[in-house]
Amino acid sequence: MPLSTTFDYEAALESCAEGNRQALMQLYEQESPRLLTVVMRILKNRQLSEDVVHDAFIKIWKHSNTYHKDLGSARGWVYTITRNLALNALKYSHRQVLAEPDFLLDLCDNNVLASAEQPDDLGELANDPLAQASLQTCLEYLEPERKLCVLHAYVDGYTQQEIAKLLDKPLGTVKSWIKRSLSALKECLQ
C-alpha cells in the first residue's frame, strides 16, 4: 500500500481512542517504515528497532486518548512516543547516543519529520565519524545553556516545556534557543 501524503493523523488517533483497530492498522501502514528508520538511526540494531516500533504502536493504541491537538501535531506526537521509547532502549542497553544532525534538524519546532520524504543535506553525517566529530566541535561553539537545551531535547528526550522547567527559563526562550541553535549547527556543519 503506497504511503499517503494526505493522511489524517488526528482522525486516526481519535479513531484509535474510540477503539477502532482499523485506524491503528492504517496508522501503522502509513508510518511504520519511517518510524523504523528513525529508530534504527538511534539504536543501530534492526531487531531491537522493530521491537521498539512495535511497543510504540501498543503505547499509541493505549494512550491515543491523551493526545490533544493544541499541544502539537498528531504525527509529531506519534514520533515523539517512538523516539522516547528508542532513547529509553538505548539508555538501558548502555549504548552511546549519537546526536545525528539530520535527525536534530528534522525535529526542529516539534514538527517531527514533517518532511520525511525530503532528503537532508546532512544525511551522510550519521555514518561518518569525521562528520560526527565536526558536530561535536560545532556543539562546543554554542553557549552552554543553548547547548544544554539541544542535548536535553534531542538526546535526553525532554519536551521543550520540561526543559524550560528544568532550566527555570520561559518556554518561549527555550524554543527560541533550540531553533537558533539548530540553525547555528546546520550553518557550522556546512
The full DSSP string for 106-126 is HTGGG-TTTTTTS--TTGGGG
Q: Are residues 177 and 137 in the same domain?
A: yes
pTM equals 0.48
Boundary-marking domain end, from 42, 72, 96? 96
Boundary-marking domain end, from 71, 96, 121? 96
Q: Structural domain of residue 143, as residue ranges?
A: 98-190
The answer for 100, left when phi > 0, alpha when psi is -120 to 50, beta otherwise, is beta
Per-residue pLDDT of the chain (190 residues; tens, 9 = 90+): 444 468 899 999 999 999 999 999 999 999 999 999 999 888 888 888 898 999 999 999 999 999 888 878 899 899 999 998 998 888 776 433 444 444 444 444 333 333 333 334 334 444 556 666 777 778 888 888 888 888 888 777 778 888 888 888 888 888 888 888 888 888 777 7
Q: What is the CATH number of the domain that holds 152?
A: 1.10.10.10
What distances in angstroms separate CA 145 from CA 6, 39, 97, 100, 185, one per listed residue? 38, 27, 20, 20, 15
Boundary-marking domain end, from 59, 76, 96? 96
The answer for 157, left when phi > 0, alpha when psi is -120 to 50, beta otherwise, is left
Q: What is the CATH number of the domain that holds 8?
A: 1.10.1740.10
